[in-house]
Every structure is written in structure tokens, then in C-alpha cells.
Amino acid sequence: MGVFAINQLDAVRLQRGLADLEETDPRRASRIRLRAQASRQRLASQFPGNAKTGVLDAAVLSEGTEAEQRFAEFANDEPCPVLDPETGLCDLYAARPMTCRTFGPPVRSEDGLGVCELCFHGAPDEQIAACEMVADPDDLEAKLLEKLEKTRGPRGRTVVAYCMK
């Protein structure tokens, strides 16, 4: 639940995942497209960026800005269009964005060790630290994203609904 920013590498992964699903299960792929279209329609009037392209304003991603705060509060009740509403499962699990891939286990960032409170409720700090996951130890995501953005557009971050056309 809730809208979150993804980069263009995540968008390409999702698009390829949807194209693969189109080959194996066209009806399920069509349902994703319909959910994404409905989501874009609900989000468009208050989208914090270009509602036609789905590219977020750069200010939305700048820490400590008013725009970042507004985005943090934007569409928190909006279901992800790739989640099946009947099962709650991700229809594009193998192609899911990095945010989804790293949700749950403790992951270190500039802000320290991030952890899902639901996964580690009541666990001591030492136990949480022992479960730390290094999501991209060789920083391959950044290298792939840089290459992608040099060879094709669009550039900038977006949200799931806008790359599922």
C-alpha cells in the first residue's frame, strides 16, 4: 500500500516482467494494466511531478524539503497496481522494484540500519544487526541505472502505476 518512488531501472524491470506475463497469462497482465490505469487516474490531479510522463519533481526526492514531506504523505492508501487485490500477492514478484526486494530484512543506509518493525518486533539490536542484508554490495544498480539513463529516456524517478502502460 502506498505510492513510493522507483528509478528507471525498476521501471524497465517491471515493464519487462509485464511483457513476459503478457506471453504466459494475458488476462492477468491485462488486469494489471487496468489497475495501473485506474491508479494513474486517481493520482493525476495531485501528482507531484509530470502527470503525463509520471516523472516525479526532483524536489520530491530532496531530503528535508517541503516537497519531500508532501510526497511522504501522498497517496498512502493507494494500492500498488501489481498487487492482486484478491490474494494480496505481487503479480510481478520476479520483476519487483528494489524497494520491494529489500523490504523486511535490515538494510543499512545513510540513516543507519533500517528495519521493518513488523518483522523484528521485540528483537534486541544485536539480533537485528546479525540479520543485516547488503542489498547491492558491488553497487551494480547504480552502474546499470547510469548506463540505462545514458542510452534511453525517460530520466528521473517515477511510481509503479506510471510505468505499467
Residue 3 lies in a domain: no
Give the three-class secondary structure for 3: coil
CA distance 48 to 51: 8
What confidence score (pLDDT) does residue 118 get? 61
In a domain, 100, yes or no: yes
Asked whether residue 12 carries a pLDDT value surpassing 70, the answer given is yes
Give the three-state DSSP class for 22: helix
Q: Which helix (H) or strand (E) holds 114?
A: strand 112-114
Q: What are phi and psi of 44, to 5 degrees?
A: -55, -45
1 falls within a domain: no
pLDDT at 2: 85
**Per-residue pLDDT tens over the stretch 86-133:** 998 899 999 989 888 777 666 676 667 676 666 677 778 888 778 777
Whole-angstrom Cα distance, residue 12 to residue 163? 8
pLDDT at position 153 is 66
Residue 95 forms part of a structural domain? yes
43-93 confidence digits (pLDDT tens): 999 888 888 888 888 877 777 778 787 888 888 899 999 999 999 889 999
Alpha-carbon gap, residue 8 to 97, rounded angstroms: 10
Q: What is the pTM of this model?
A: 0.74
The answer as to whether 155 is a domain residue is yes
pLDDT exceeds cutoff 70 at 3: yes
Greater confidence, 22 or 128?
Answer: 22
**CA dist 3 to 20, 75, 102, 116, 139, Å?**
24, 6, 16, 17, 25
Instruction: Return left, alpha or beta for 63; rule: phi > 0 is left, psi -120 to 50 is alpha, else beta.
Output: beta
Enclosing H/E stretch for 5: none
In a domain, 150, yes or no: yes
What residues make up the domain containing 40?
A: 8-163
Domain count, the chain: 1
